[in-house]
Amino acid sequence: MTSSLILSVITFIYGFSAALYVASWIFKKASIGKAATWITLAAVVGHVAGILLRWVESYQMGIGHAPLSNFYESIVFFSWTLAVIYLVVERAYQNRVIGAFVAPIAFLAMAYASLSPNINDRIQPLVPALKSNWLIAHVIACFVGYAAFGIAFGISLMYLIKHSGRDRNSRLLALFPEQRLLEALNHQMIMFGFLFLSIGIITGSVWANSAWGSYWSWDPKETWSLITWFIYATLLHARMMRGWHGKRLAYISIIGFGAVLFTYFGVNLLPGLHSYSQ
Amino acid sequence: MKPKDPNSPIARIWDFFSSVRLTVVLLLTLASTSIIGTLIPQNASPADYFQTYGPFLFRLFSILDIFDMYHSWWFQFLLLLLTVNILVCSLNRLSGTWKIVFRKNPSFDIDRFRKIPNQTVFTDSRSMDALKAIYVPRVKRRFGYVRMEDTEKGFYVFAEKGRWSRLGVYTVHFSVILLLIGALIGSFFGFEGFVTIPEGEAQSQIHLRKTGDVLPLDFAIRCDSFHVSFYESGTPKEFRSDLSILVGENAVLKRSIRVNDPLHYKGISIFQSNYGKLPPNIITLNLVSEETKMEYRKELSAGQKIDLPEGAGTFVFKDFRNRYPFRGQDLGETVIGTLIAPNGNSEEIVLPLKFPGFDRMRKRALVFSVEEINPRYYTGLQVSKDPGVWVVYSGFMIMILGCYITFFMSHRRLCIEVTPKGNSNRVLVTGTANKNKLSMETVVSKITQDLAA
């Protein structure tokens, strides 16, 4: 399978771009940062080519389906979305330090998908429960949401680092965006992620109703996605109505992403309906 | 909506529920308690729980309804509190928002705009009238509502858009209430049950999942046939039941259902849930005579008695088992029959499908083996009725729409004040937005460039 090979190579390109973003931040070299942007862009293009090729390969194997059907494919899609959203943010805010905190997430996710012995990267046929048009909508919405939360997580880390930096003018913090901007960006990413998480939960729920005859059955994955939703809903209300800001919101954003990770990885350790996505 | 007397008990309750602090507490409590039910499997058998947790924890968890916690009184109570909280908060703020949104001429206070930190100033040497003619249409390009008024020496332009987007958050809250109403309708007027039907048979009653009670239906479901197919790797590819809906003796509807493709009849939905194998009705036996080397084939159904060739007696197809332990080994699917010799002696005959030579061990004249079985399946169906599902689905759609409006649209107001200054004019551009203030700053600077050009 050529697509798996392409995606493995892409993993290293992400690693390289992440290293460049960090280097450009630490050594304050704008040229390295520019290179990092172009390399990330190349990785994103190669990445989508790998995903599309995997789609084609599945048809060649006679079990054609969108490459969004198992754990491996979902992580691959997550990293791609994360990289795309990041590039948009970088372009809009013209700041590459964020890349030093976000690009490693894309790299680590890809590395985990490609290298972990527990993850099967073969193209598998769809079991009956997955044969639904809701599959694509559900997976795309969830992982776009997760990717946005991933970026919010990286930005919240930056906020906390900037905030705790005793010397506000320290060399490393100088290139950070202003706190105000980091905070606004965190909030924007969370609103974006929340909309998509809601769509993801809703499409999953409609799908469950057509597959099993019940739109909500409190299975662990459903429940954890709702827990994640509650956490981000808390953040949105606390900020909007109670004027919470700064460190508090950064912490909730980090806890929220922890819940995302548990929904994604931890729940597979628990029994439930989503067991096929292991 | 708020009660008049601030000290009355109703006013206090109202105040309690109108606080967003309560919302934050409730959301975090719901989030953290929900974790419990994902760690402790729900609705398992009491015996399993007792074994896992021991007598003390078992008692404690039973009292707190932890084994079915999402339907427990305290969890439902938290949901109820959240609902009241959402309602009161929304009603409390709605009247204010309503006044802003539904008014013909938006109010506009120039002094407030002068104090806004988000502002730019430039000078424009063109004449006052020329500026009016240029500014108004340029602002109209970006804003829906534009109003120009003359002041003592100059003029101002006031513009705004997205006023109605202030209603977005109420839309989201309304959708949450709809979800809860839909869920309530479902739990009061709906049911969830299951039924297993062997191929060729019909059932008109189902078992309810919650209580295990039997519920009779107005019609019968007949399983005409069931099909399962597998991929080469052995994972299942498709489960399909060909069903008929029978009213009296008539089949009023015939349809195949698959996973993700249910059947709906008179508000009741039938889903493919599971399947299983039944003992075959008909088997084909192969008999080989050791003496004459003749081969015979006999077809017989369950319980049927047949005469054997060469005067060897009679044979009854007594039983079929999916497993048959033999000397510590499982022989798999096995037919069990009784052979009655002409002298009246009976003997049990064991015929594992996987080992056709197994019967040779008896060392008799006639060697039995099973040539073919007609496997029979039963289909497991989920049968449910949920009249609240459309309320829930409308809630879903309204929620998506409401989130989009709330997060990505805002009420933006812009003010341009022009006052003469020496030979030229001083132009002040300011703007506010109820949300996403950073992007309003961009809008103000873009408009400024636009006007100065």
Q: Summarize pLDDT for B40-84 with one digit per residue, the tens.
A: 888 888 888 888 888 898 899 888 888 889 999 999 999 999 999
Domain co-membership, A159 together with A114: no
Task: Write out the two tokens for A143.
Answer: 């992982």
Is it the case that residue B184 has pLDDT exceeding 60? yes
- 3-class secondary structure, A124: coil
Q: How far apart are CA B248 and CA B202, in angstroms?
A: 11
Instruction: Report the percentage of chain B scoring pLDDT > 90.
Output: 38
**Taking the mean position of all CA atoms in its chain, how far away is CA A210?**
28
Give me the torsion for CA of B430, B435, B437, B439, rounded to 10°.
-100
Is it the case that residue A218 has pLDDT exceeding 80? yes
Candidate from B38, B259, B260 with C-beta closest to A220:
B38
**B86-120: pLDDT as tens digits:** 999 999 888 888 888 888 777 788 888 888 888 88
Q: Mean pLDDT throughout B3-13?
A: 79
Question: Hey, are the CB atoms on B34 and A223 less than 8 Å from each other?
Answer: yes
Per-residue pLDDT at A267: 80
Domain co-membership, A40 together with A61: yes
Domain co-membership, A228 together with A153: yes
Minimal C-alpha gap between B55 and chain A (Å):
24
Whether residue B366 contacts residue B288, with contact meaning beta carbons closer than 8 Å, is answered with yes
Angle at B68 between CA B64 and CA B69, to 5 degrees: 55
Q: Mean pLDDT throughout A99-104?
A: 93
Q: Could you give the angle at which helices A30-60 and A71-93 cross, rounded to 10 degrees? A: 150
Spell out which residues of chain B touch residue A241, defining contact as CB-CB under 8 Å. Answer: 20, 23
Domain co-membership, A37 together with A79: yes
Per-residue pLDDT at A278: 37
Average pLDDT, chain A: 89
Across the strands, what pairs with B228?
B239
Looking at residue A69, what DSSP letter applies?
S
B43–chain A Cβ distance below 8 A for any pair: no
Question: Hey, are the CB atoms on B271 and A192 less than 8 Å from each other?
Answer: no
Spell out which residues of chain B touch residue A209, defining contact as CB-CB under 8 Å. Answer: 389
Q: How far apart are CA A94 and CA A10, in angstroms?
A: 25
Question: Hey, are the CB atoms on A131 and B403 less than 8 Å from each other?
Answer: no
Across the strands, what pairs with B250?
B247
Q: Which residues form the domain of A211?
A: 128-278
Q: Which of B158, B129, B119, B115 is nearest to B420 (CA)?
A: B129
Q: How far apart are CA A43 and CA A47, in angstroms?
A: 6
Q: Which of A212, A109, B253 is nearest to A222 (CA)?
A: A212
Other C-beta atoms within 10 Å of A262: how many? 18
- 3-class secondary structure, A215: coil
Average pLDDT, chain B: 89
Q: Which residue has the tokens 């705790």?
A: A164
Question: Hey, are the CB atoms on A128 and B238 less than 8 Å from each other?
Answer: yes
How many structural domains are present in chain A? Answer: 2
**Taking the mean position of all CA atoms in its chain, how far away is CA A9?**
19
Minimal C-alpha gap between A257 and chain B (Å):
14
Per-residue pLDDT at A277: 43
Q: Backbone phi, then psi, for B439, in 5-degree steps?
A: -75, -25
- 3-class secondary structure, A106: helix
Q: Mean pLDDT throughout B429-437?
A: 87
Candidate from B28, B39, B383 with C-beta closest to A234:
B28
Task: Write out the two tokens for B48.
Answer: 């399993």
- 3-class secondary structure, A153: helix
Q: Mean pLDDT throughout A208-216?
A: 91
Name the band, by pLDDT with cuts 50, 70 and 90, for residue A134. very high
Spell out which residues of chain B touch residue A191, defining contact as CB-CB under 8 Å. Answer: 407-408
Per-residue pLDDT at A261: 93
Task: Write out the two tokens for B391.
Answer: 């309320």
Task: Write out the two tokens for B291.
Answer: 């003496």
Report B:161-220 residues touching A (Cβ under 8 A): 183, 192
Question: Hey, are the CB atoms on B183 and A238 less than 8 Å from each other?
Answer: no
Question: Hey, are the CB atoms on B20 and A198 less than 8 Å from each other?
Answer: no
Question: Hey, are the CB atoms on A206 and B393 less than 8 Å from each other?
Answer: yes
Question: Hey, are the CB atoms on B403 and A270 less than 8 Å from each other?
Answer: no
Which of A102, A126, A150 lies at the terminal end of a domain, its last residue? A126
Whether residue B20 contacts residue A234, with contact meaning beta carbons closer than 8 Å, is answered with no
Query: How many Cα neighbours within 13 Å face the side chain of A59?
Result: 6
Q: How far apart are CA B377 and CA B306, in angstroms?
A: 26
Candidate from A125, A213, A231 with C-beta closest to B262:
A213
Per-residue pLDDT at B422: 83
Query: What residues contact residue A133 under an 8 Å CB cut-off, 6+ apart?
Result: none
Candidate from A128, A223, A241 with C-beta closest to B38:
A223
Spell out which residues of chain A touch residue B262, defining contact as CB-CB under 8 Å. Answer: 210, 213
Whether residue B326 contacts residue B313, with contact meaning beta carbons closer than 8 Å, is answered with no
Domain co-membership, A162 together with A106: no
B44–chain A Cβ distance below 8 A for any pair: no
Spell out which residues of chain A touch residue B258, defining contact as CB-CB under 8 Å. Answer: 128, 131
Whether residue A107 contacts residue A95, with contact meaning beta carbons closer than 8 Å, is answered with no
Candidate from B38, B39, B384 with C-beta closest to A213:
B384
B35–chain A Cβ distance below 8 A for any pair: yes
Per-residue pLDDT at B103: 82
Is it the case that residue A109 has pLDDT exceeding 60? yes
Minimal C-alpha gap between B372 and chain A (Å):
29
Question: Hey, are the CB atoms on B382 and A233 less than 8 Å from each other?
Answer: no
Element (H, E) at A264: helix A247-264
Per-residue pLDDT at A167: 62
Q: Choose between B95 and A149: higher pLDDT.
A: A149
Query: What residues contact residue B130 under an 8 Å CB cut-off, 6+ apart?
Result: none
Task: Write out the two tokens for A132.
Answer: 């639904």
Q: Choose between A35 and A124: higher pLDDT.
A: A35
B21–chain A Cβ distance below 8 A for any pair: yes
Domain co-membership, A13 together with A103: yes
Q: How far apart are CA A50 and CA A9, in angstroms?
A: 10
Which of A126, A149, A170 lies at the terminal end of a domain, its last residue? A126
Whether residue B435 contacts residue B405, with contact meaning beta carbons closer than 8 Å, is answered with no
Please give the residue of chain B at the shortest CA–CA distance from A191.
Answer: B407
Which of A126, A160, A188 lies at the terminal end of a domain, its last residue? A126
Domain co-membership, A102 together with A137: no
Burial string for A108-145 (b: 16+ CB within 10 Å, else e) reads ebbbbbbeeeeeebebbbbbbbbbbebbebbbbbbbbb
Is it the case that residue A220 has pLDDT exceeding 50? yes
Task: Write out the two tokens for A186.
Answer: 């965190």
Looking at residue A128, what DSSP letter applies?
G
Q: Mean pLDDT throughout A72-82?
A: 93
Kindly tell me the sign of the dihedral angle through the C-alpha atoms of B251, B253, B256, B261.
Answer: negative
Q: How far apart are CA B261 and CA B189, in angstroms?
A: 24
Question: Hey, are the CB atoms on A128 and B436 less than 8 Å from each other?
Answer: no
Q: Mean pLDDT throughout B168-188?
A: 94
Q: Choose between A199 and B293: higher pLDDT.
A: A199
B239–chain A Cβ distance below 8 A for any pair: yes
Whether residue A83 contacts residue A110, with contact meaning beta carbons closer than 8 Å, is answered with no
Domain co-membership, A140 together with A110: no
- 3-class secondary structure, A166: coil
Is it the case that residue B2 has pLDDT exceeding 60? no
Domain co-membership, A96 together with A141: no
Q: Mean pLDDT throughout A20-31?
A: 90
Per-residue pLDDT at A276: 45
Element (H, E) at A90: helix A71-93
Q: How far apart are CA A238 and CA B420, in angstroms?
A: 45
Spell out which residues of chain A touch residue B170, defining contact as CB-CB under 8 Å. Answer: none
Domain co-membership, A184 together with A267: yes
Domain co-membership, A87 together with A118: yes
Candidate from A214, A230, A242 with C-beta closest to B27:
A230
- Most A-contacting residue of B21, B38, B66, B208 (CB-CB within 10 A), to test interface: B38
Name the band, by pLDDT with cuts 50, 70 and 90, for residue B303. confident
Per-residue pLDDT at A271: 59
Chains A, B: CB pairs < 8 Å: 119
Q: How far apart are CA A235 and CA B296, in angstroms?
A: 79
Question: Hey, are the CB atoms on B231 and A125 less than 8 Å from each other?
Answer: yes
Is it the case that residue B379 has pLDDT exceeding 90? yes
Name the band, by pLDDT with cuts 50, 70 and 90, for residue A253. very high
SS (H, E, C) chain B: CCCCCCCCHHHHHHHHHCCHHHHHHHHHHHHHHHHHHHHCCCCCCHHHHHHHHHHHHHHHHHHCCHHHHHHCHHHHHHHHHHHHHHHHHHHHHHHHHHHHHCCCCCCCCHHHHHHCCCEEEEEECCCHHHHHHHHHHHHHCCCCEEEEEECCCCEEEEEEECHHHHHHHHHHHHHHHHHHHHHHHHHHHCEEEEEEEECCCEEEEEEECCCCCEEEEEEEEEEEEEEEEECCCCCEEEEEEEEEEEECCEEEEEEEEECCECEEECCEEEEEEEEEEECCCEEEEEEEECCCCCEEEEEEECCCEEECHHHCCEEEEEEEECCCEECCEECCCEEEEEEECCCCCEEEEEEECCCCCHHHHHCCCEEEEEEEECCEEEEEEEEEECCCHHHHHHHHHHHHHHHHHHHHCCCEEEEEEEEEECCEEEEEEEEEECCCHHHHHHHHHHHHHHHHC
Is it the case that residue B376 has pLDDT exceeding 80? yes
B105–chain A Cβ distance below 8 A for any pair: no
Domain co-membership, A12 together with A147: no
Whether residue B238 contacts residue B229, with contact meaning beta carbons closer than 8 Å, is answered with yes
Candidate from B34, B237, B239 with C-beta closest to A125:
B237
Whether residue A151 contacts residue A87, with contact meaning beta carbons closer than 8 Å, is answered with no
Name the band, by pLDDT with cuts 50, 70 and 90, for residue A1. low
